[in-house]
Amino acid sequence: MSPIAELVGVSKRFPGVLALDNVSITLARGEVHALVGENGAGKSTLIKLLTGVYTPDAGEIRYAGRPVSFRRPLDAQAAGISTIYQEVNLLPRMSVASNLYLGREPRGRFGLIDHRRMYADAAALLSQYGIDVDVRAPLQSLGLGAQQMVALARAVSVDARVVIMDEPTSSLEPREVDTLFRVVRDLRGQGVAIMYVSHRLDELYRICDRVTVLRDGRVVHTGPLAELDRLRLVSLMLGRDVAEVRRHGLTRFSESHTAAAGEPVLRVRDLTRRHVLSGVSFDVRPGEVTGLGGLLGSGRSETAKAIVGALPVERGEVTVAGRRLRRLSPAAAIRAGISLLPEDRKAEGIIPELSVRENIVLAAMPRLSRVGVVSRAQQDRVVDLFMKRLRIKAASPDQKVSELSGGNQQKVLLARWLCLNPKVLLLDEPTRGIDVGAKAEVQQLIDDLAQEGLAVVLISSDLEELVEGADRIVVLHAGAVVDELAGDDVSESHLMAAVAHDGEAPE
Amino acid sequence: MADTHPAPTATPGRTERAAALVQRHGALAVLLLGAAVATGAFPSFGTLDNTHNIAIQSSFLAIVALGMTFVIISGGIDLSVGSVFALGGVLAAYASRWGLLPALLLPLAVCGLIGAVNGVLVARTRMPAFIVTLAGLLGARGLLLAITHEGSDTFLVPKGSAFATLGQGTLVGFGYPVYIALAVFGLGGLVLRRTRTGQSLFAVGGSEDAASLMGLPVARIKITVYLLSGLLAGLAGALNAARLSSGVTILGVGLELDAIAAVVIGGTLLVGGAGTLSGTLCGVLLLGVIQNVINQIGSLNSSYQSVVSGAFLIVVVVAQTYLGRTQRIR
Amino acid sequence: MTDLAATTSTAAPVADRRHIARYLPGYGVYAAVAALLAFNAAFTDHFLTVGNLRTQLIQVAPVVIVALGMALVIGTEGVDLSVGSVMALAAAVLPLYLGYGAVPAIAVALVAGVAVGAVNGALVAVVGLQPIVATLALFVGGRGLALVLADGQLKQLHNAALLAIGSDDVLGVPAVVLIAAALAVAVGFVVRGTTFGRQLVAIGGNRVASQLAGLPVRRVLCCTYIACGVFAALAGVLATARLNASDPSALGNLMELSAITAVVVGGTPLSGGRVRVLGTVVGALLMQLVRATLIKHDLPDSTAQMAQAVIILVAVYVARERKSR
């Protein structure tokens, strides 16, 4: 198999992060190449380098044997690299045919677009993919699967020699997935190289020839997929590679929390949202750390968001300390005593223009003021307390939060939620993207909080953190609870087995 | 397997189809209804003379609104057209002493340049369009005042000149500007529907990210759109000057709002990505009919026009938001 | 534990180059005002006289008041285009109720501001329209309504109490200037010292995060637009009182532009998340001084308008550079 696109020793740095570190990957003609890795592993950076959205800081991109530098997406497309994204990146209000042919519509007399030919071409093209729709109808009148096929048809019909598919099946029905795979196999037969990014292991094994595993911006494995069993693949993705096993007990968690007893303080029942969550139910008891396990896209973060009402659900109820929340909304959740530390610190957490003090007291402000006037003294007391307790390192409480390190920003957010004195604390990836020292401190804190009787829900892609931190792990897959580990079952091997149960998960 | 979700609805339901229908033809329906009611209520409304009148009075706004439709479809807004319209009129009147061609070319050149500057600033600096074009509004008005010695000079169009005829002549009762407006609408429709640039407008307005990922030249399209808007506003101003025989400096204040109102009433989404020229034409005529009716009543203040436009705007925009939600599948 | 803690470093201070880029939009306005004053002191006759400064302050007062409201709206990452129309509306309403006395008339004018602000706020916060789109409708309709109410006429006013507000001095300072100053102080306090102000800034800084933190986003947005409407109405009342006449066709024309300029020149980014009250006041002063300087040097109004256009673009451009993260 001859290579069509290659990254050779490519690195890409963003402020504060080395997103890709000396990565080399080869895409061959006529292969379906899986690219896997957890969040932050560098997959999307890699895709963006290949498609000309970013340029590498070091290393070389080769295409058809020659070094190339794509300055913008247009260059990569012109060269024959097409991408289809997880979220369909088309124009929902325009017709199906327009979406297929925008920018290269067939033209007739006087250089005017020949709509009749465009519609005929579009219908013919789509029928090759087994799609029979009115190509004059707006794209949004199609189902998501059909939209995805339109995106694929567009990508491929631009004479693509490389097609990058980023989570193409995340919103497809099984039947639609079958159609997609048939097309993918056709393309492979025609010599097109396909880079396939997905977290659904069963899909990878159905369609992919080779696999490259990224972790923390590095390639940790590349080779034929058939030679790799599921467990091994998961262990590579999650960083539990045998050669890389770190000394045990690096995390700051104590063994288990004996305080865990009594009635559950948080009861989650039947949270359901189409394509996202299906009937998630579990309990969380005070003094206990409950882990939410599962691969990326399994519905971990969505569950947390749904509990606090930040993600609307079609069904489901949340009960806190015996009282059922009538309406799920962030404000109601906070009043009931649930706090969520969201996953995306920048987009959903910090208010960058504001000071450390204000970021800490944001949610508690009404409690720390009198008739709408902020009480500086009360604020200072709280801010001071939590900055000390969480060892937040800032020049002063008045420093802008955006000037702090990631770890300290995270602690500021933790302080924001802790000063509300919650009954239940949901932590979504509390230690991601923060340095080792801060990580240990945050883990220690989680431990302490549970000891003090708080109910903690911990979401983490870090297997070790989850296993050592949680007393019990609820394992999610495709938005449903598939397993629950407790006691001696809370171990990396059990968790990995539960997580890897892809496709065979009991319903 | 957990893949037990019900299949997403693949065919639009009745409400969605109705929503699309209202969005597409609402303006036409209201226009016909309004005209019918007015014909019944005022005997002088349905006369041929009055029809000519409405047509010629709407033709200038129509030309401006055409450019505005392009801008709004591409996801932008152009608040400078009122000033540019007035500037075009003054320049045309000024240049009319040298003949027809200069009287058209000078305003087109200057107004096109202003539009292009707006476009470059919007496309290249990522400044919000409303700020850029508000500055354009001010700048064009300043330029106009500078040319006319702070508004004290009024340039006159020579009587009987070809340029004056262009504004004042009629053919089967309708003034030439009416035909010019129809011609630019025809041309505009052709560009919008039948050229790659026209189709790209919808793409840029629908989703700039998607458009650039599809390899469309987003910046160039945006610049073109503002350039066109400037050109059309200048053309409308020139024609208006020809009709009035002079470059009136105080014209065009608030014209941008009428144009936006007409476009939005015509079913074009203010967020961009969808719209029709026929809708805009209906919107312009609707405003023309309302103005005419207000004049017919006589006792009514002519400012009712903008009250009605404003009310229409709110109703249409809110309706669009909710209709849009109905139409969105997912 | 100590060694672990040692590795957690506070982020290094920002580099020098970025310092300039950061302080230019924030503090450039003060430097510009100082430079203009110095220039005028040296080259313009009779500029630094009490009489002239009085005139300048009186002229700028309504702009300052509108700009304060606009600053709040822009702080939420919004914009209010309807302020000029609200001024006209207030001016139109005044003479209708002056028969009941100045206070009821002013109250009704302010209520009109509340009403417009409430509609804007509802369209933005509840319906979820873009602020430009939402406020455009009342930009169009507001002035029309004003003209309808006033029958398109300029009306001379003869209510002594109202005219006194426009022309009287308190402790040697014109009342309108005092009112503007008091409002500036009040807005400064609200922004810095109240939950409402801090929540407003937080919502502008990161709406998603604010929502997740349980902030009453809708309520804050509605109140902000209402405040902006009331301020614009008040400015309309004061300007009318000063003119001795209600002139809804001319009053407040292009006011939205002047107010936005003052806010942006004063260092409040259009992208929200920050409100600079003093900067806004000084920004309004700067634009007033630019105009006055040009006029004193016999440069025509046309030049002043074009200069204003350029200043707006530069200010927005500079502010834009900073926020692009």
Domain for residue C8, yes or no? Answer: no
A71-111 pLDDT, tens digit each: 887 788 888 888 887 666 788 889 999 999 988 888 888 88
A294 dihedral zone (left: phi>0; alpha: psi -120 to 50; beta): left
Give pLDDT tens digits for B255-303.
888 899 899 888 888 888 888 899 999 999 998 988 888 888 776 677 7
Six-digit token string for C26: 């924030």
Strands annotated E in A287-395: 289-293, 315-320, 323-324, 338-341, 369-370, 373-374
Those residues whose C-beta lies under 8 Å from the C-beta of residue A138, and which sit 6 or more positions away, are A92, A93, A94, A95, A96
Query: A143 and A290, same structural domain?
Result: no
- pLDDT, tens digit, for every residue of C209-234? 998 998 999 999 999 999 999 999 99
The DSSP bridge partners found for residue A291 are: A458, A473
Last residue of one domain, picked from the residues A104, A131, A158: A158
Q: Is residue A507 part of a domain?
A: no
Phi/psi class of residue A142: alpha, beta or left (left: φ > 0; alpha: ψ in -120 to 50)?
A: beta
Chains touching C (3+ CB pairs < 8 Å) = A, B
CA–chain centroid gap for A105, Å, is 36
Q: How far away is chain B from the Cα of A168, in angstroms, using its nearest Cα?
A: 15
| DSSP string covering C150-181 | HTT--EE---HHHHHHHH-EETTEEHHHHHHH
Closest CA to C120 of C158, C78, C155: C78
Contact A245, A463 (CB under 8 A): no
Q: Are C315 and C267 in contact (CB under 8 A)?
A: no
* Residue given tokens 């470093």 in the structure block: C9
**Residue whose structure tokens are 């650039």:** B212
Q: In 3D, which of C302, C151, C149, C121 has the Cα closest to residue C228?
A: C121
A365, A376, A426, A443: best mutation site toward chain C, by most C Cβ within 10 Å?
A: A365
pLDDT band at A162 (very low <50, low <70, confident <90, very high): very high
**Hey, is the C-beta of C273 within 8 angstroms of any chain A C-beta?**
yes
Those residues with Cβ within 8 angstroms of residue A66's Cβ, 6 or more apart along the chain or in another chain: none
* Domain-embedded: residue A439: yes
How many distinct structural domains can be found in chain C?
Answer: 1
Average pLDDT over residues A300-311: 91
Q: In the structure, what pLDDT confidence band is assigned to residue B68 with cuts at 50, 70 and 90?
A: very high
For the four alpha carbons of B249, B251, B256 and B259, in that order, the dihedral sign comes to negative
Backbone angles phi, psi at B181, to 5 degrees: -60, -45
pLDDT recorded at residue C299: 83
Nearest residue in B to A151, CA atom: B214
The edge-to-edge listing of strands for the beta sheet with A193-197 is A81-84, A162-166, A193-197, A32-36, A210-215, A218-224
Segments forming the whole domain that contains residue A136: 89-158
- Is residue A197 within 8 Å of A35, Cβ to Cβ? yes
Mean pLDDT value of segment B156-167: 86
Which residue reads 């050779």 in tokens?
A: A8
Closest C-alpha to B225, from B66, B9, B43: B66
* β-bridge pairing A210-215 and A193-197: unpaired
Question: Does residue C35 form part of some domain?
Answer: no
C34 in a structural domain: no
What's the CATH number where A228 sits?
Answer: 3.40.50.300
Give the CA dihedral C302, C308, C309, C310, nearest 10 degrees. Answer: 110
A35 versus A232: the higher-pLDDT residue is A35
Name residue C133's amino acid.
V
Residue A250 resides in a domain: no
Report the share of chain B in percent with pLDDT over 70.
Answer: 91
Domains of chain B: 23-327 (1.10.3470)
Q: Please list every residue in chain A whose beta carbon sits closer than 8 Å to the beta carbon of residue B7.
A: 143, 173
What was the pLDDT predicted at A252?
52
Q: Hey, what are A453's tokens?
A: 């009787």
Copy the structure tokens of residue A433: 């993207």
CATH number (domain holding residue C112) = 1.10.3470
Interface predicted TM-score (ipTM): 0.81
Contact A168, A152 (CB under 8 A): yes
Dist. CA B213–CA A74, nearest whole Å: 7
Last residue of some domain: A158, A174, A202? A158
Q: Looking at residue A501, what is its pLDDT?
A: 64
* Contact residues for C2 (Cβ-Cβ < 8 A; gap 6+): none
- Checking if the pLDDT of A250 tops 80, the result is no
Last residue within a domain, chosen from A113, A135, A158? A158
Residues A372, A327 within the same domain: yes
Q: What is the total count of domains within chain A? A: 3
Residue-wise DSSP of C273-301? S---HHHHHHHHHHHHHHHHHHHHTT--H
| pLDDT at residue B1 greater than cutoff 70 | no
The interface residues of chain B toward chain C in range 158-187, judged by CB-CB distance below 8 A, are none
Query: What is the residue range of C232's domain?
Result: 47-323
Same-domain status, A68 and A96: no
The reported pLDDT for the residue numbered C91 is: 92
Helix (H, G, I), strand (E, B) or coil at A466: helix
Q: Chain C residue with minimal CA distance to B143?
A: C302
pLDDT in tens, A177-236: 888 888 889 889 989 999 999 877 888 899 999 999 998 889 999 999 988 888 788 788
pLDDT per position in chain C (325 positions), as tens?
333 333 333 334 444 555 555 666 667 788 888 888 888 888 877 777 888 888 889 999 999 999 999 999 999 999 999 999 999 999 999 888 888 888 999 999 999 999 999 999 999 998 888 888 888 888 888 888 888 888 877 888 888 888 888 888 888 888 899 999 999 999 999 998 899 999 999 999 999 999 899 899 999 999 999 999 999 999 999 999 988 888 888 888 888 888 998 998 888 888 888 899 999 999 999 988 888 888 888 888 888 888 888 988 888 888 765 443 3
Does residue A307 share a domain with residue A455? yes
For the entire predicted model, the pTM comes to 0.82
Interface size between A and C, measured as CB pairs under 8 A: 109
Q: Do A32 and A62 fall into the same domain?
A: yes
Give the closest of B6, B196, B273 to A113, CB-based: B196
Q: Residue A318 and residue A327: Cα distance in Å, rounded? A: 9
CB neighbours of residue A445 within 10 Å: 19
Point out the residue among B131, B254, B308 whose CB comes nearest to the CB of C316.
B131
Q: Per DSSP, which regions of A297-372 are E strands?
A: 315-320, 323-324, 338-341, 369-370
What residues of chain B, 245 to 284, have a C-beta less than 8 Å from chain C?
Answer: 253-254, 257, 260-261, 270-271
Highest-pLDDT range among A31-45, A434-448, C40-54, C176-190: C176-190
A409 and A419 inside one domain: yes
